[in-house]
Amino acid sequence: MTTKNRVFSRLFEENKHAAQLRAEKRKEDKLQKVALGLVDELDYEFESLRDEVGRLSYSVEEWFDEKFDVWFEIGRDIYSVYFQNSEAFLTPDDVSADRDKLLQIKEKAEELGLDVVDVYPDYDEHLQEIEYLADLDQRFIMQQQQFRDESKSV
């Protein structure tokens, strides 16, 4: 149909043209209703989805690497100290002979009728330090076991 014929048909066949326009309008309305209905059924709105994707993106692309590096470095440090003896701490075995000597000093002082502090002024503190070392050593062993257990659960 030529443009001229179309113009004349619309002018003279107004009812036909109006019917066609109404049909197109109904079709458009149905599409809008379907589209709006489907939009309402979305589980996540776009902005909400964008926020969640952003949070996951940060975790995957930045946060994990930062935290993993820190965790790995700390784990290496703990392993080095607790399992490879990088610090070489004294143990109760290292000072057991000193403990025995302190007890001998006390015994000899008492035999002479002297107070042990008169013979060795740091006697009490020295003995307390050895006992504290034994306590720390036990706690060190417990921490070592805790690290071993936690490492298995990771």
pLDDT tens column, 126-144: 999 999 999 999 999 999 9
Burial profile 9-36: b = 16 or more Cβ within 10 angstroms, e = fewer = eeeeeeeeeeeeeeeeeeeeeeeeeeee
Can you give the length of the chain in residues? Answer: 154
d(CA 131, CA 15): 108
Tens-digit pLDDT profile for residues 35-51 = 556 667 777 788 888 99
Tell me what pLDDT residue 136 has: 97
Q: Return the pLDDT at 80.
A: 94
Answer whether residue 14 shows pLDDT above 70: no
